[in-house]
């Protein structure tokens, strides 16, 4: 005989799913009972006290964003609870803990309106942003649709996206965009007179980033600009940076950062943000070798500095930067058919610590590191069009999914599919409007 489900306080079964619990909570919140008593052949509604707010909150914290958006309409109390900044932050932490149990990634395929031969980087990117979520599960070849947005005629070139706390930052050659694919919110950031991407003229360096200021709890977008041009080369000189606070109190305007970068950042790059800091590669490899470091910006103090790279990094060693679990800066380097993975635990220890060497694996090319054990069965790598897993037991690389051949929910075959943006993804309720 099957075991009877146990019921905790207020009649909620401990075997219920989160959705079932919320349906029961909704019934209680509306003043009805979901438990009936039978007298003869008639059912009577038993009086039911209000469900404790703490229990409701614990259940709501475990629900996906899509459900929470729907349950905001249950009553004013629930809407106030779900919209509360403390609840939003707690829900984000719970989502991050779920990611550690079951990693997922956001995938954005990019297509071209037409192909122009011999272009080094296309100038005909589609102005359509689609977002899909892919769960790291055995034999999963389906990406779930999250959201899509259109900005017709607004840009020609895309830069690399970045993810922070469920928000996606998308820089282009003319504008900067910010999305929350889970809530389907999107904003176009106002243009800047210092780095007027639309007007051209003054050299634009397309160097930007996005991250959280831990002191204020506000999100900031930072972009570089040039104060002057070299008359001989036409290249920008005297780099400065400016900041825009999302949903801030400064009237939605860009503000120049008082201090200047001690060395220029590399053009056409998107920063990595973790632990209240942004990180950029320096303007050229020779400068990085001389300084043995990368550029960082404290989002709290708005001060620049140089973060050293691992001492064992050789001059001819190529490397990439990534953020793992929203807490660690990861440096992946490659030389002589060997991939090295280093971790800087910024969120836990700040910048006053040393790089920790984690892995050296035999691999023929440079990849991005997306996840490490124990939060995955192996080392999860991304090599432009494939998400792969390096098995530490067999020392072999296997492809988990081929992005060009994956099934995208609700999508038809794309024409002129060019590339993909892929980032570890944690959904959130964070508002950007």
Q: Name the more confident of 257 and 287.
A: 257
pLDDT at position 338: 93
Taking residues 168-186, report their average pLDDT.
Answer: 95
Which of 6-10, 18-22, 373-377 reaches the highest mean pLDDT?
A: 373-377
How far apart, in whole angstroms, are the C-alpha atoms of residue 375 and residue 11? 35
Asked if the model's pLDDT at residue 271 lies above 90, the reply is yes
Residue 267 has pLDDT above 90, yes or no: no
Query: Is residue 32 predicted with pLDDT exceeding 60?
Result: no
Across the chain, mean pLDDT equals: 86
**Number of Cβ within a 10 Å radius of residue 51:** 19
CB 36 within 8 A of CB 43: yes
pLDDT surpasses 70 at 159 = yes
> What is the per-residue pLDDT across 338-382, written as a single tens digit (0 to 9) for each?
999 999 999 999 998 999 999 999 998 899 999 999 888 899 999
How confident is the model at residue 432, as a pLDDT? 92
For range 233-251, the mean pLDDT: 83
Residue matched to tokens 């995208």: 408
pLDDT of the residue at 153: 87
Q: Residue 413: CB partners within 8 Å, gap ≥ 6?
A: none
384-412 pLDDT tens trace: 899 999 999 999 999 999 999 999 998 87
**In this structure, are residues 90 and 81 in contact, taking their beta carbons and an 8 Å threshold?**
no
pLDDT band at residue 18, thresholds of 50, 70 and 90? low
Q: For residue 69, what pLDDT is reported?
A: 95
Q: 289 is written with which tokens?
A: 């070798």
pTM, two decimal places: 0.85
| Cα–Cα distance for residue pair 210/299, rounded to 1 Å | 10
Backbone angles phi, psi at 281, to 5 degrees: -70, 150
What is the model's pLDDT at position 425? 96
């Amino acid at each position: 005989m099957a075991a009877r489900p146990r019921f905790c306080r207020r009649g909620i079964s401990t075997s219920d799913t989160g959705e079932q619990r919320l349906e029961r909570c909704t019934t209680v919140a509306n003043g009805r009972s979901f438990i009936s008593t039978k007298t003869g052949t008639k059912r009577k509604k038993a009086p039911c006290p209000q469900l404790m707010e703490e229990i409701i909150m614990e259940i709501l914290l475990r629900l996906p964003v899509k459900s929470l958006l729907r349950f905001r309409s249950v009553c004013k109390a629930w809407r106030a609870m779900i919209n509360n900044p403390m609840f939003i932050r707690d829900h984000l932490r719970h989502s991050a803990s779920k990611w550690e149990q079951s990693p997922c990634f956001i995938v954005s395929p990019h297509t071209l309106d037409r192909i122009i031969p011999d272009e080094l980087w296309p100038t005909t990117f589609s102005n359509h942003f689609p977002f899909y979520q892919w769960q790291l599960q055995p034999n999963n070849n389906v990406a779930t649709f999250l959201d899509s947005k259109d900005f017709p005629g607004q840009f020609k070139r895309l830069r690399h996206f970045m993810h922070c706390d469920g928000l996606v930052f998308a820089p282009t050659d003319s504008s900067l965009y910010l999305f929350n694919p889970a809530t389907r919110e999107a904003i176009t950031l106002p243009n800047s007179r210092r780095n007027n991407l639309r007007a051209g003229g003054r050299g634009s360096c397309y160097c930007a980033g996005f991250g959280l200021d831990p002191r204020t709890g506000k999100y900031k977008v930072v972009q570089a600009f040039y104060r002057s041009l070299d008359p001989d080369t036409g290249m920008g000189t005297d780099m400065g940076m400016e900041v825009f606070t999302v949903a801030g109190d400064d009237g939605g305007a860009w503000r120049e950062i008082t201090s200047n970068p001690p060395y220029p950042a590399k053009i056409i790059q998107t920063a990595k943000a973790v632990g209240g800091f942004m990180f950029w590669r320096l303007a050229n490899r020779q400068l990085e070798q001389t300084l043995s470091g990368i550029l960082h910006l404290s989002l709290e103090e708005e001060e620049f500095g140089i973060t050293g790279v691992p001492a064992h990094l050789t001059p001819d060693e190529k490397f990439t930067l990534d953020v793992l679990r929203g807490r660690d800066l990861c440096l992946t380097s490659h030389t002589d058919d060997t991939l090295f993975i280093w971790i800087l635990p910024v969120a836990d220890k700040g910048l006053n610590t040393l790089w920790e060497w984690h892995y050296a694996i035999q691999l023929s090319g440079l990849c991005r590191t997306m996840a490490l054990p124990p939060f995955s069965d192996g080392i999860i790598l991304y090599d432009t069009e494939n998400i792969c897993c390096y098995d530490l037991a067999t020392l072999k690389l296997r492809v988990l999914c081929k992005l060009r051949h994956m099934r995208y929910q609700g999508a038809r075959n794309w024409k002129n599919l060019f590339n993909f943006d892929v980032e570890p993804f944690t959904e959130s309720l964070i508002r950007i409007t």
